[in-house]
Amino acid sequence: MKKRDRQHWLRFLLFGIALWVGAGAQAGVVTQVQIRDADGGMGADGASFGFYLEGTASYINGTDDGGAFINLGVGTFSLDADWGSGFQSLLTYCLEPTQNVMFGLYANDPVGLTYEAADITDVGYTEDQKQILETLWANAFDDSLTSDVKAAAFQAVLWEISIDDEYFFTDGNFALNFNEPYTLDVILQAREWLDNILNGVWTTKVDLVALHNETSQDFLVPVSTIPGPGALAVMGVAGLIKRRRRS
């Protein structure tokens, strides 16, 4: 292809992208969502367990900051999400182990907080870590809803790759206490799943995005749950939200 032809082709491509983005804006691309507690926005009375799906909540013994072992609350979040056509059920997991949920903790909150959908790499994860999350979700998410151990293991994998550069579960800034029997069960399940991903046993993936709020805990959601062209906007246009990536 001649240089002039390449230039014309590039201009045409950029013009097409501009038209696509502009058309999406005119069509009301959805990239924002209201998140609240699944119980119609009823307050959880300050207890994080009030947000968890029944049968999945538990404590694991460990640390998320490299300090002393403490009991860490884990489970599948059972929330409501409204993309503009009414609240619907959202089952998800935490992306930020040191950030609290800031809606509905102490009072009824029927509206909840506004979150924005963003690429996972814009909220502190690398592209490789994003691939791990998407493979984990595709192969273990449904299974994680079946018991508290599996829900805890799913959450442990997310936190391990979020906090540490090497994934051992028993040392580093995110470390679990293998001397505590229940926590050991969680470690063994988490290791099995992560090994399946890293060793190529699991290859199926599902496209995920982060739901981000600056003052509240971030969550994961499959792109397929975002209505209309909003999912394409999130996946195709980089930089909706730019946060400092973890060092």
Kindly write down the DSSP assignment for every residue of 143-191, as one continuous string. HHTT-HHHHHHHHHHHHHHHH-SS--SSSSSSEE-TTSHHHHHHHHHHH
Helix (H) or strand (E) holding 23: helix 3-26
Query: Is the confidence at residue 233, as pLDDT, over 60?
Result: no
Cα gap 190→150, rounded to integer Å: 8
Buried b (16+ CB within 10 A) or exposed e, 142-152: eebbeebbbbb
Look over the chain and give the mean of its residue pLDDT values, rounded to a whole number: 84
Contact 222/135 with Cβ under 8 angstroms? no
- pLDDT tens track for 120-131: 999 989 999 999
Query: Is the confidence at residue 237, as pLDDT, over 80?
Result: no
- pLDDT tens track for 35-86: 999 988 777 666 667 899 999 999 999 999 999 999 999 999 999 999 999 9
What was the pLDDT predicted at 108?
Answer: 87
- pLDDT tens track for 13-46: 444 444 344 434 334 456 899 999 998 877 766 6
Contact 97/163 with Cβ under 8 angstroms? yes
Residue with tokens 């595709």, as numbered in its chain: 138
Can you point out the beta strands (E) in the chain?
32-37, 58-63, 70-74, 77-82, 87-92, 113-118, 175-176, 208-213, 216-222
